[in-house]
Amino acid sequence: MTDRERLAEYVDIWWQAVNDFLDLLEQVPADQWGTATDLPGWDVKAVAAHIAHLESILAGNPEETVDVGEPDHVTGLMGVYTEQGVVARRDSSPDELINEIREAATARHTALLADPPTDASARPERIFGGVAWDWERLLRNRPLDVWMHEQDIRRAVDLPGGMDSAGARHTAAYLAESLGLILAKRIGASAGTTAVLEVGGQSPVAYVVTDAGRGEPMPTVPADPTVCMRLEREAFVVLAGGRRDAEPGSVEITGDEALGRRILDSFAVTP
């Protein structure tokens, strides 16, 4: 697959994720926009405002600079940046947020179709927060961000769904790639340690710690790995997304159970 084809695939997944997100927002009852989500300090409206903020910037609208104060849930410069988008939209109505997301995403989608990026390593002219991302990372991350926040809202207002969408499959596969980092760097497993992760609805992934202390993907899944972890997609994404611990009984570990627990306890890889 060429860079152009792969990046176009990310755009397609993001576009579907945005439309799924908007469909969900249209279903949220008016009295539940203030419902707290799993994200500290953010209710449903704040999550929608966050998506509106980033999509607006990527569509070419000006950056916003507002005083966010010193809320406990804001840590680091990126946290301050994203909070600015939420605070700037504090007085926006749900309909205004929905319309802003729809208009910004439509404008950006149209631009990406008219002039598609062809070099995954090139730097986009427009990006949020000044992050040093190339086209590959930007376009691969956008479906993950939108879909994860769709699920944040679904859990908050008890409207489950969207677990088998293109965004769901993309996000779960993307997060699973962190297994090597967790195994080798966060856990510090010894050379030769192998770990397999089986997430419901997708192919298992396997990693081995090399002599150089790196977690490298294995070309085939070993028959007898050091540890194998099995869990359904929803349990995995809330865990890897740093939202919640895995529910009791939602994880099956074979092999070195203590190692499996350490891996899962360290798997929160999104901010």
Query: For the chain, where do the domains classified as CATH 1.20.120.450 start and end?
Result: 3-162
What pLDDT was estimated at residue 201? 80
Is the confidence at residue 24, as pLDDT, over 80?
Answer: yes
**CA–CA separation, 176 and 73 (whole Å):** 26
Q: 195: pLDDT confidence band, cut at 50, 70 and 90?
A: very high
Q: 268: pLDDT confidence band, cut at 50, 70 and 90?
A: confident
Name the amino acid, one letter, at 223: A
- Asked if 82 contacts 50 with a C-beta cutoff of 8 angstroms, the reply is yes
Query: For the chain, where do the domains classified as CATH 3.30.1050.10 start and end?
Result: 177-265
**78 burial via Cβ count (<10 Å: 0-12, 13-18, 19+):** middle
CATH architecture of 177-265: 2-Layer Sandwich (3.30)
Kindly tell me the sign of the dihedral angle through the C-alpha atoms of 190, 231, 7, 46.
Answer: negative
Q: Which two tokens stand for residue 227?
A: 């540890």
pLDDT exceeding 90 applies to what percent of the chain? 86
The per-residue pLDDT for range 72-127, each reduced to its tens digit, is 898 888 889 999 999 999 999 999 999 999 999 999 999 999 999 999 999 999 89
What pLDDT was estimated at residue 240? 94
CATH code for the part of the protein at 3-162: 1.20.120.450
- Asked if 243 contacts 210 with a C-beta cutoff of 8 angstroms, the reply is no
For 159, half-sphere exposure in the C-beta direction (CA atoms, 13 angstrom radius) is 21
145: alpha, beta or left, given left = phi > 0 and alpha = psi -120 to 50?
A: alpha
Neighbour order of strands in the sheet with 194-199: 215-217, 205-209, 194-199, 227-231, 251-255
Q: Residue with structure tokens 């080798």?
A: 184
Is the pTM value of this prediction over 0.85? yes
Q: Which two tokens stand for residue 17?
A: 């994720």
The per-residue pLDDT for range 126-172, each reduced to its tens digit, is 899 889 999 999 999 999 999 999 999 999 999 999 999 999 999 99
Residue 92 vs residues 49, 96, 104: alpha-carbon distances, Å: 9, 6, 16
Is the confidence at residue 45, as pLDDT, over 70?
Answer: yes
Mean of per-residue pLDDT scores for the chain = 95
What pLDDT was estimated at residue 74? 86
